Amino acid sequence: MAKNIILSAKTADDIDTRVERILQDLGNPEPPLALETVRELLRLDFGYYSINNPGLLQETAHKIWLAGKQILLRPTILIEAVRKFDLKALYILDQKRILLDQDEPVLKHRWNEGHEIIHSVLPWHEGAMLGDDANTLIPSCHAQLEHEANYGAGKLLFLRDRFTKEALDLEQTISSINGLADRFGNTRTSTFWRCVETWGARVPVIGLITGHPHFDMRKDDFDETNPCRHFIQSPAFEQQFSGVDERNVFDQIVGYCSSNRGGPLGADEVILIDDNGNSHLFSFETFSFHHNILTLGIYLEPYKKVITSVL
């Protein structure tokens, strides 16, 4: 199960302070954040590479780290590592240069670039050239350095407190997430992730990213034992519902979802059990963006079973 990991308060505050300084130095810009201005401020070089065009990758590196593990122990041609480990983004420390895989979908470039920018500003990430593959570039990555970079990317791309204030003023729905994605210039999925974390700071909120829940729409590689691509816990949810099983939640989603290919798939009230064995009611809604199905669960109240007597 791909549950997200909550950073320690000290580490989160340190990263947040560094992002705040960047935004202040930029004059607290309006959304969407122009990443070229961030690169200019930090004096970062930028480029693209492609394994289909070796001429774009002529740099060499003495070592590359991936998800906290050193994967190259001697000088080598960079493109060899890119091919072998299917790297999607790179930060080359001694050149202060960010490189993105131009063959990745354009919608992913913005997140990948923000991730590498954070690598560049965290001093404890220094000492190695960092490579990132499809796994380390998702916000649920468990490797410490990569999770820190993803946390910082979320704070940077969503302008920190600016997003928090605007999100808290909106109704907690997928429709609001769509509007925030357009306003801040980020993907629906990354905006969904930030909304779960923001709305769920004090009240339990969860988000699921899955394939299509309906039996008739499932792909051949669907795994019943691991049905969720990502299971996003808000801080308050993790504190109270850490033992919730993704399969139980997914099965309840299956119960109300239609077989529509895109758009709203359904909504319902769902009962979840907390770590003390008590039942609680959540409001769930599920929406299909074709490549990803997003389900948002918002806490309502303790569940009270109604018992009717027969006279």
pLDDT averaged over consecutive 10-residue blocks of the chain (311 residues)? 78 96 98 98 89 57 54 53 75 82 90 95 74 60 77 96 97 98 96 96 97 95 92 96 95 97 97 97 97 96 75 55
Q: Which residues contact 290 (CB under 8 A, 6 or more apart)?
A: 261, 262
- pLDDT at residue number 89: 85
Beta bridge partners of 211: none
Q: Thinking of the domain 161-302, which architecture would CATH place it in?
A: 2-Layer Sandwich (3.30)
- pLDDT at residue number 147: 86
Give me Rg for the CA atoms of the chain: 21
- pLDDT at residue number 87: 77
User: Angle at the Cα of 103 (from 97 to 108), degrees rounded to 5?
Assistant: 75
The values of phi and psi at residue 256, to 5°, are -120, -5
Looking only at the bridges linking them, the beta strands covering 279-288 and 129-132 are unpaired
The values of phi and psi at residue 66, to 5°, are -130, 120
- pLDDT at residue number 50: 77
Q: Where are the alpha helices (DSSP H) in the chain?
A: 9-25, 35-42, 78-85, 106-121, 144-157, 161-168, 174-184, 188-199, 235-240, 246-254
DSSP string, 119-184: HHH-GGG-SSEEEE-TTTTSTT--SHHHHHHHHHHHHHHTTTHHHHHHHHTS-SSHHHHHHHHHHH
Rounded CA separation 96/134 (Å)? 22
Rounded CA separation 142/148 (Å)? 10
* Helix, strand, or coil (residue 48): strand
Domain residue extents for the chain: 9-157, 161-302
